[in-house]
């Protein structure tokens, strides 16, 4: 999967199973930032990401004795973190919260393809505070089903197979959602850069 | 975007092209199309750039220190210090 997996493979499952605090501390240290980032991308809220990270590790530690080691530890932890994030989003909906911006219909996306070549713009400009804000907005606008796939595959660096396993969906489904997510983000950022480049003319 | 059949094919395979998971034959076919089609080149480049920008932004995101401390406390790991890290 990546360096996280390499670090995780060095953990002693025996020590984790017996509740060895020093080993648990290493596990938390390895996965703390990835879990926080996953939760932050899914919810767009630092406070929620903090709460979700706490809840995730409480569940992880509680369930460690039941972890059979058949799946990778990382996949198992990501699944718990993703479920916590999705539950957090579900809890917001009945209150009529406007935080979750869901485009709803997955079928209607990527119909339009904006053609503007902004890829060669200086990175300092693409990632200034306004640029970053647009990145955050674009990902928040993705439907949840695409955001989860993009977050796991492109941001956390999981393979297609691992992403499918975490989300409990098929590999073709991951591929479809990933392509749609990438195209939708590209489209959103292209529209923004068209407007921004027009402003600087 | 005035799309040809080749453009549509490229869009359908865009993820595989970016991830390098295309068969060599299909890869050469799409590369040949890219040489001739400016619009598709822009779509591929801006999609790659989109993913790159999220990667860079992601690498700058971490759990804030106060939140780390709260997590440590909540998990009752209090006096345990992970190797190579001062909490």
Within 106-125 of A, beta carbons closer than 8 Å to B belong to: 110, 113, 115-120, 123
Q: Tell me the DSSP string of A150-201.
A: HIIIIIS---HHHHHHHHT--HHHHHHHHHHHHHHHHHHHHHHHHHHHHHH-
Q: What is the pLDDT of residue B82?
A: 54
In this predicted structure, the answer to whether residue B5 has a pLDDT above a threshold of 70 is yes
ipTM above 0.95, yes or no: no
In tens, the pLDDT along B41-79 reads 999 999 999 999 999 999 888 999 999 999 999 998 877
pLDDT mean across residues, chain B: 88
Q: How far apart are CA B24 and CA B20, in angstroms?
A: 10
Closest residue by Cα to residue A52 from A21, A17, A87: A87
pTM of the model: 0.89
Nearest to B68 among A26, A32, A118 (CB): A32
CA A83/CA B59 separation, integer angstroms: 23
State the smallest CA–CA distance between residue A125 and chain B in angstroms. 11
Q: What residues does each domain of chain B span?
A: 5-74
Top CATH class, A106-200:
mainly alpha
Indicate the Cα dihedral angle A134, A136, A138, A140, nearest 10°: -150
Q: Angle A160-167/A73-92 helices, nearest 10 degrees?
A: 50
Q: Among residues A19, A201, A44, A61, which one has the least CA distance to residue A137?
A: A44
If pLDDT is split at 50, 70 and 90, which confidence band does B1 have?
Answer: low
- Quote the tokens at residue A135: 């990145």
Q: Where in chain A is the domain with CATH 1.10.10.10?
A: 106-200
For B47, which of A21, A139, A186 is closest by C-beta distance?
A186
Distance from CA of B13 to the nearest CA of A (A): 9
Q: State the CATH architecture for A3-95.
A: Orthogonal Bundle (1.10)
Higher-confidence position of A142 and B80: A142
Tokens of A10: 């060095």
Question: A32–B63: do the CB atoms touch at under 8 Å?
Answer: yes
Residue A70 pLDDT = 72
Q: What is the pLDDT of residue A6?
A: 84
Residue linked to tokens 């997590």: B71
* Among candidate residues A184, A121, A123, the one with its CA nearest the CA of residue A149: A184
Nearest-CA distance B49 → chain A (Å): 6
For residues A171 and A177, give the distance between their C-alpha atoms in angstroms, rounded to a whole number: 10
Along the 201 residues of chain A, how does pLDDT read in single tens digits?
Answer: 578 888 888 898 889 988 899 999 999 999 999 999 999 999 999 999 999 999 999 999 999 988 888 778 999 999 999 999 999 999 887 655 444 444 444 444 446 788 999 999 999 999 999 999 999 999 999 999 999 999 999 999 999 999 999 999 999 999 999 999 999 999 999 999 999 988 876
User: Which ranges in chain A are annotated with CATH 1.10.1740.10?
Assistant: 3-95
Which residues in chain A are closer than 8 Å to B3, comparing Cβ atoms?
113
Minimal Cα distance from B21: which residue of A?
A160
């Amino acid at each position: 999967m990546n360096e996280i997996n390499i670090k995780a493979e060095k953990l002693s499952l025996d020590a984790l199973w017996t509740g060895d605090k020093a080993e648990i501390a290493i596990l938390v240290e390895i996965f703390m930032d990835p879990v926080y980032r996953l939760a932050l991308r899914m919810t767009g809220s630092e406070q929620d990401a903090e709460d979700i990270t706490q809840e995730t590790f409480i569940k992880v530690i509680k369930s460690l004795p039941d972890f059979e080691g058949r799946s990778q530890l990382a996949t198992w932890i990501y699944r718990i973190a993703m479920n916590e994030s999705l539950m957090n989003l579900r809890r917001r909906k009945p209150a009529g919260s406007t935080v979750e911006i869901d485009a709803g219909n997955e079928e209607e996306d990527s119909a339009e393809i904006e053609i503007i070549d902004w890829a060669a713009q200086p990175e300092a400009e693409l990632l200034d505070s306004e640029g970053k804000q647009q990145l955050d907005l674009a990902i928040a606008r993705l439907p949840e089903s695409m955001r989860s796939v993009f977050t796991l595959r492109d941001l956390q660096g999981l393979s297609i197979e691992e992403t499918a396993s975490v989300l409990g969906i098929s590999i073709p489904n991951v591929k479809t959602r990933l392509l749609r997510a990438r195209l939708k983000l590209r489209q959103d950022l292209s529209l923004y850069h068209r407007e921004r480049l027009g402003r600087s003319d | 975007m005035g799309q040809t059949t080749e453009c549509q094919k490229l869009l359908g395979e865009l993820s595989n092209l970016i991830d390098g998971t295309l068969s060599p034959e299909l890869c050469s076919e799409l590369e040949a199309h890219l040489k001739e089609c400016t619009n598709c080149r822009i779509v591929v480049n801006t999609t790659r750039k989109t993913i790159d920008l999220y990667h860079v932004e992601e690498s700058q995101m971490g759990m804030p220190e106060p939140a780390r401390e709260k997590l440590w406390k909540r998990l009752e790991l209090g006096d345990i210090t992970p190797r190579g890290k001062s909490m």
